[in-house]
Amino acid sequence: MARYKVIVNPTAGKGVAGASIPILEQKLNESGMAYELVKTERPWHAAELARQAIRSGFEVAVAVGGDGTVNEIINGIVAAQEAGEGNISLGIIPIGTGNDFAYGVGILPGLNSNIATLTNLQKRWVDIGWFSGNQSINRFFGNGIGVGFDAMVNIVASRMKRLRGFLSYIVAVLRTILLDYRSPKTEIIYDDQMLAQRCVMISIMNGRRMGGGFHMTPTSLPDDGLLDTCIAGYVDRLSILALLPRFIKGNQKGHPAIQFQQAHAVHVRILEGTLPVHLDGEAMGTDFKEVEVKILPRKLEVITSPHPA
C-alpha cells in the first residue's frame, strides 16, 4: 500500500486550508489511505517536508494548498532528485487562491473527488520549468512565469485581505490598470528567434491559466516539452480592459496586440526601466531587468484523474 505524506499549508486560500483540516482528516480516514499529515510552519517548509518524505520512503507527497504550496513541493522534489536521494509522486488537493497548476494537469477542486484521484494512483509525467532572474534567483516552477502587467496584478491581489479567489484577481486587474500600467521596450529571445517591442505583459507558461481564471495559453500542454508564451504588446488602458473578457474565455488569439510563441527556452530583457515578475503566483520582485526560462521535459510525476484536461 502506498504511503502518503499530506503537507497542509494552513494559510493557503487565506486560511481556508487550515480550517479544512478536520474534514480532510475525516475523509482521509474513511478512504483507508496510509497517510501522515503535517502542517507547514514557515516559508519553504513544504519543500523541506517533501524532501524528508522522500528520505523516509513515502511514495506520494500531497500538497494541500494553492500554487505556492505546490511550487515549494516541486522544488523540494527536484532538489532531492538532483542530490540522488530518490523521487516521489506529487498529489494535489487544491485549496488555494488560484489553483492554476492543478487545473493545468486536470485536477479540479472537490475534496471527495480529489481523495478518490489520490487513491486511484493514476500517474502522469509532466514538464516543469526552470527560472533565473537578474542573474541571482534560480527556481523551478510548475505553472508559469508572469512579467509585467499580470505580475503586478498578482502582487495587488496578494495584498487583499477580504477578497479571495478569482474575484480578488478581477479587482486587482482594475487597480493595476489605474495605478501601475507600464509598457517598456522589451527584447524577447525564444529559441533562435528575437522580438523587440513595447510589451504590457509576457506570460511564459507550462500550464494554461493564471489568476484562477485567466487563460493565458489555453492550448498549452504540460507534457509536450515546450513553453507556451503569450505576449501582449502595447495597448492603452481601455484596450487592456476590453481584452479582459477575452483572456477569461481564452479567445484572445487573433487580437492584433497578442502573439503566441512556443519554445524550449525564453530570454527576456527589459530595455527601459524594470518590471515585476511572479512565479507560480508568488511575487518575485518588482525590479527585474532580465529573465531566463527553460523547460525540463517529463521531470515530475503527478497523480491526476484518469481523463485529465
- How would you class 269 by CB atoms within 10 Å of its CB: exposed for 0-12, middle for 13-18, buried for 19 or more? middle
Which segments of 157-289 are extended strands (E)?
A: 185-190, 193-205, 209-210, 214-215, 227-233, 258-263, 265-270, 275-279, 282-288
The CATH number of 3-121 is 3.40.50.10330
Distance CA 163, CA 171 (A): 9
User: Domain 131-297 is in which class?
Assistant: mainly beta
What is the chain's alpha carbon radius of gyration, rounded to the nearest angstrom? Answer: 19
Domain parsing of the chain, residue ranges: 3-121, 131-297
pLDDT tens string, the chain, 309 residues long: the values are 899 999 999 999 889 999 999 999 999 999 999 999 999 999 999 999 999 999 999 999 999 999 999 999 999 999 999 999 999 999 999 998 889 999 999 999 999 999 999 999 999 999 999 999 987 789 999 999 999 998 998 888 878 777 777 888 888 888 888 877 888 999 999 998 999 999 999 999 999 999 889 999 999 999 999 999 999 999 998 898 899 999 999 999 999 999 999 999 999 999 999 999 999 989 999 999 999 999 999 999 999 976 555
> Could you give the C-alpha distances from 284 to 44, 71, 104, 106, 175, in angstroms and in order?
14, 13, 22, 26, 20
**What sign does the dihedral 122-124-130-131 (CA atoms) show?**
negative
Cβ neighbours around 88 below 10 Å, total: 26
Those residues whose C-beta lies under 8 Å from the C-beta of residue 253, and which sit 6 or more positions away, are: 260
Length of the chain: 309
